[in-house]
Amino acid sequence: MVATVASKRGLTPYEEVNLFFDQAAERLKLPDGMREMLRRPWRELRVQVPVRMDDGNVKVFTGYRVQHNAARGPYKGGVRYHPLADLEEVRALASLMTWKTALMDLPYGGSKGGVQVDPALLSNSELNRLTRRYTNAIQHLIAPNRDIPAPDLGTNAQTMAWMMDAYGAIHGYTPAIVTGKPVELGGSLGRDAATGRGVSCILEQAAKDFGLDLSKTRVVVQGFGNVGSWTARLLHEMGCRIVAVSDVQGGVRNARGLDIPTLFEHHRRAGGFEGFPGTEAVTNEELLELECDVLIPAAIDNVITGRNAPRIKTRLLLEAANHPTTPEADAIFNDRGIPVLPDILCNAGGVTVSYFEWTQNLQEFKWEEERVNTELRKMMTRAYQSVYQRATAEGITYRQAAFEIGVQRVARAVELRGFV
């Protein structure tokens, strides 16, 4: 297994995700035409995003919106601002959204957007102008019943407010056009924490099946943005010992456990971990190889590869980022008997609460936060159990089980619609 996958190195992220898809399609015995149709995006748009910079010069960025599949409902997926957000990456992420929304049984398809830009290098007003131009460039492809963007890496509630405003300037007030908005503009209570909360629900369930005592569980989290920081805070609240965390510049560790609320405040004020007392600095590479019970990559894709997978010392891998593990590394974990709970399950809390936000906007009715969290927990638990049971019954990995459930649902919807 390792050798065959290893020989296919050099694949793009989209081709890598499709290796997981192909395994599912094969086991489900999908006919060739159906496979082809489910593998490839239904529609792709590449746009130019010219921005007047604060110094008066114009810079031209490239943006994408990839609509992978809408058999089960409108396309749904975030918008990423990142220097590596090229077409192949956005395609990979769009396809993951299709399998994720299907696994969660949300009435959505899958899409993703991206602008190839480092948002840290732009001022707030430059980001505002870039977001408006990008929204204008894709506005004819999105709508509350067509395609609904949301935040992803490098974007946040403010970005969604700008998108909603730019879309509204053309189409009139339309809060359901994006999710992950500020609460003051129709965002849902609990959306900000939702992905991290979803990860915590998965760990709570997994602890029972994998024999982990949460109060003794040592957790390492890579990434301290929205997903990583909420994951660390909620797991710390649950009694886990968070032994190391990092952001893009590097991280800190303390084998006895980090005081996450104080560390979070320090990080917010200082813009990094430096100077936090009682900790030792670690690089991102070192962090992934620290001994722990649960390793949670919560930053970018492709961080766990054939190179470092043999050295990773965890009992369980929970993928909070999208596509953090290459197929080669996935096979190594399988051979080493380390269970991997896949991205389309672990990080689905975000899109699940996006769904709650969209329904609240369509009904013009607000839910209390407790209702959001209770419903989220129910849906995460149900999805976890369906994956766990299928994997156990069929003797396949959790990733294979998750993909099979998702792919089977999308294939069924295509069949029922009868459009081929």
Q: Is the dihedral of CA 212, 244, 401, 238 positive or negative?
A: positive
Residues 6+ apart with CB under 8 A from 56: none
- 322 near ligand GLU, rule: CB under 6 A: yes
Site string for ligand GLU, 255-274 (x = CB under 6 A): --------------------
Which of 76, 129, 253, 377 lies at the binding interface for ligand GLU (CB under 6 A)? 76
**CB 265 → ligand GLU: shortest distance, Å?**
26
Phi, psi angles (nearest 5°) of residue 226: -55, -50
Residue of 8, 29, 59, 112 marked active site? 112
- 254 near ligand GLU, rule: CB under 6 A: no
**CB 77 → ligand GLU: shortest distance, Å?**
5
Q: Are 62 and 116 in contact (CB under 8 A)?
A: yes
- 150 near ligand GLU, rule: CB under 6 A: yes
Detail the DSSP E strand segments found in 91-235: 110-115, 147-151, 218-222
Which of 78, 119, 327, 339 lies at the binding interface for ligand GLU (CB under 6 A)? 78
Nearer to ligand GLU, 225 or 272 (CB): 225
- 204 near ligand GLU, rule: CB under 6 A: no
Contacts 24+ apart (CB under 8 A), 324-328: 324/297, 324/299, 324/300, 325/297, 326/16, 326/302, 327/5, 327/8, 327/11, 327/16, 327/19, 327/20, 328/2, 328/5, 328/6, 328/9
Which of 69, 98, 179, 217 lies at the binding interface for ligand GLU (CB under 6 A)? 179
**CB 72 → ligand GLU: shortest distance, Å?**
14
- 155 near ligand GLU, rule: CB under 6 A: no
Q: What one-letter code names the amino acid at 141?
A: L
- 178 closest CA partner among 348, 354, 46: 354
Nearer to ligand GLU, 97 or 391 (CB): 97
- Options 52-60, 74-82, 133-141, 251-259: segment touching ligand GLU (CB under 6 A): 74-82
Q: Which alpha helices (H) appear in 28-86, and where do they start and end?
A: 32-39
Which of 163, 351, 396, 401 lies at the binding interface for ligand GLU (CB under 6 A)? 351
> How many residues sit close enough to ligand GLU to count as binding (CB under 6 A)?
12
Which of 354, 360, 373, 397 lies at the binding interface for ligand GLU (CB under 6 A)? 354
**What angle in degrees, to the nearest 10, is found between the helix axes of 13-27 and 87-103?**
30
Nearer to ligand GLU, 89 or 152 (CB): 152
Q: In which element (H, E) is residue 333 found? A: helix 327-336
Nearer to ligand GLU, 205 or 354 (CB): 354
- 350 near ligand GLU, rule: CB under 6 A: yes
- 126 closest CA partner among 181, 46, 45, 61: 61
Q: Are 243 and 258 in contact (CB under 8 A)?
A: yes
**CB 379 → ligand GLU: shortest distance, Å?**
13
Q: What length is written for the chain?
A: 420
Here the tokens at position 174 are 């339309």
Q: Which alpha helices (H) appear in 182-301, and where do they start and end?
A: 194-209, 226-237, 260-270, 284-288
- 77 near ligand GLU, rule: CB under 6 A: yes
- 152 near ligand GLU, rule: CB under 6 A: yes
Is 112 noted as a catalytic residue in this protein?
A: yes
**What angle in degrees, to the nearest 10, is found between the helix axes of 13-27 and 32-39?**
150
Site string for ligand GLU, 281-310 (x = CB under 6 A): ------------------------------
**CB 50 → ligand GLU: shortest distance, Å?**
25
- 95 near ligand GLU, rule: CB under 6 A: no
Nearer to ligand GLU, 180 or 228 (CB): 180
**CB 326 → ligand GLU: shortest distance, Å?**
18
In the DSSP assignment, the letter for residue 251 is E
Pairwise CA distance, residues 357 & 366, whole Å:
9
Indicate the residue whose CB is closest to ligand GLU.
78
Q: Which residue has the tokens 């649960």?
A: 294
Nearer to ligand GLU, 273 or 367 (CB): 367
Nearer to ligand GLU, 221 or 243 (CB): 221
- 372 near ligand GLU, rule: CB under 6 A: no
Catalytic residue numbers, as ranges: 112
- Which residues here bind ligand GLU, judged by CB under 6 A? 76-78, 150, 152, 179-180, 322, 347, 350-351, 354
